[in-house]
Homo-oligomer: A and B are copies of this chain.
Amino acid sequence: MMAGRIILLVRCLSQQRNKVLAPDTGRDMMCFAVSAAFSWSPSPEIGNLPRTGRRLGMKCRLSKAFTERRRPAECLLDHTSQSPQNQDKIMIDLDRRTTTFLALLAPFFAGVAAAQTSADKMSDMERDMSKVPWRGNEQIAMLIYPGMTVMDLIGPHCMFGSLMGAKIDLVAKTLEPVTSDAGVTIIPSATFQTCPLDLTVLFTPGGTDGTLAAAADPDTLAFMADRGARSKYVTSVCSGSLILGAAGLLKGYRASSHWSCRDALAGFGAIPTDARVVRDRNRITGAGVTSGLDFGLSMVAELRGQIYAECTQLVSEYDPDPPFNAGSMKTAPADVKAVMIKLLEGFTQKAEALAAASRI
């Protein structure tokens, strides 16, 4: 019965889209995603979430209390509105789409509510889809700077990009193009001056020398400290946690980082924690580079709920299958570890020196 209602709704939406809307992307389509309310594990290691997440997913099916955690969605902002190209077209598409969906979702919620009282026993059909914070207005600011590792930025952005109604800014000192450590050049969408004051998520990617330079730059640290004090979540991936630490945002908090500089966080008064994604209160930090996908998906679940995050995971086909098993210091072959530890030794030492010299 529930499945029938979903198909009915989606066919209705699909027909409406064909009439009213421009063709849209997989990301845009995420505005349809339906989500169960979700709560973090009491464990600070979100790396434990596969088990915890499923356990909480089951709780969601059993307890209406979880559904009270969702926030109201006041207004719609376009997460691409700052992009230099296609800005107007994309904004118009998203606004038209959202207006249409809002009108269409009311009967869906009624139908889903009725389905909840049915005898349908398919477990993944029992999740309360009528409590969906599918429309949001998060303000997300992602710091970018010369020498950053662009994968640290794009992994989380890939997941944040599914948040219909969220506004994502790529924030730099100026609007001059920013080149990553591997030579990818990105145009910022906002500056330290034009970035919104009150943020849902403040994020910084990592890198090596570029990150150490950013972590020693007074303007960058002043921006991070100011927005960090106002942001609901203060986050990073890879050695980006060095920038959070240098801005005084990790004192007394557990935090992760790239394996080559995680211990240096102690110099900023943080508690270095070896996990893929670490949460301590509103500080959420990822390990090296590719952990940004696990971090980003965890953030989508925190902001919109588990089912929304599952839709994001399916559209990004995040079903990883590394061809080798050398991705962590726990699994890499001894010869690979020996070489890489020594080869990153210079960066490790500089990160520790920076942290040790801080007055935090």
Residues on A lying within 8 angstroms of B by beta carbon are: 2-3, 6-7, 10-11, 13-14, 17-18, 23-29, 32-34, 46-47, 49-50, 53-54, 79-86, 90, 122, 124-125, 127, 129, 146-147, 149-151, 154-155, 157-158, 161, 168, 170, 177-179, 181-187, 189, 207-210, 212, 238, 258-260, 276-277, 287-291, 293-294, 297-298, 301, 306-307, 309-311, 313-340, 342-347, 350
- CB pair B342–A14 under 8 Å, yes or no, is yes
Known pairs A10-B339, A10-B343, A154-B151; A186 contacts B183 (CB<8 A): no
How far is it, in angstroms, between the C-alpha of A158 and the C-alpha of B181 when the chains are bound? 10
- Which residue of chain B lies nearest to A29 when distances are taken between CB atoms in the complex? B343
Return 6 A-B CB contacts under 8 Å, by A number: A14-B345, A151-B158, A277-B323, A291-B319, A293-B320, A313-B322
Distance, CA A285 to CA B277, complexed state (A): 30
If A259-B317, A298-B323, A320-B293 touch, whether A23 touches B340 (CB-CB below 8 Å) is no
Q: Give the residue of B84, B185, B318 whose beta carbon is less than 8 angstroms from that of A179.
A: B84
Contact across chains for B208 and A182 when beta carbons are under 8 A apart: no
Docked Cα-Cα span, A34 to B47, in Å, equals 31
Cβ B317 vs Cβ A327 within 8 A: yes
Which 6 A-B pairs give the minimum distances between C-beta atoms?
A288-B317, A80-B183, A319-B327, A161-B182, A310-B326, A320-B320
**A294 partner residues in chain B, CB cutoff 8 A:** 320-323
**Are B350 and A23 in contact (CB-based, < 8 A)?**
yes
Contact A322 B336, beta carbon cutoff 8 Å: no
Assuming the contacts A25-B147, A170-B184, A333-B124, asked whether A290 and B293 have C-beta atoms less than 8 A apart, the reply is: yes
Task: Assess whether A154 is in contact with B161, with CB atoms less than 8 Å apart.
Answer: no
> Shortest distance in angstroms between A115's beta carbon and chain B's nearest beta carbon?
11
| Cβ B310 vs Cβ A336 within 8 A | yes
Q: How far is the CA of A281 from the CA of B210 in the complex (A)?
A: 40
Closest chain B residue to A168, Cβ basis: B183
By beta carbon, the residue of chain B nearest A160 is B182
Roughly how many angstroms separate A8 CA and B106 CA in the complex, as a whole number? 69
In the bound complex, residues from chain B placing their C-beta under 8 Å from that of A345 are 14
CB contacts (< 8 Å) of A50 on chain B: these are: 321-325
Known pairs A25-B210, A80-B179, A313-B332 / 18 extra A-B pairs, C-beta < 8 Å: A3-B335, A7-B342, A10-B338, A14-B345, A26-B149, A26-B208, A26-B260, A26-B347, A49-B323, A84-B177, A85-B177, A86-B147, A122-B334, A125-B334, A151-B157, A185-B186, A238-B317, A301-B323
Q: Which residue of B lies closest to A32 (CB)?
A: B343
Contact B317 A328 (CB under 8 A): yes
Counting chain B CB atoms within 10 Å of each CB, the highest count among A26, A85, A288 belongs to: A26
**Of the candidates B27, B82, B158, B307, which one forms a contact with A336 in the assembled complex, judged by CB atoms under 8 Å apart?**
B307
Best-surrounded residue of A146, A184, A288, A290 (most CB of chain B within 10 A) = A184
Q: Is the CB of A326 within 8 A of B338?
A: no
Determine the distance from Cα of A123 to Cα of B317 in the docked complex, in whole angstroms: 35
Given the complex, which residues of B lie within 8 Å of A179, measured CB to CB? 80, 83-86
Residues of B near A82 (CB, < 8 A) are 183
Residue of B nearest to A328 (CB): B319
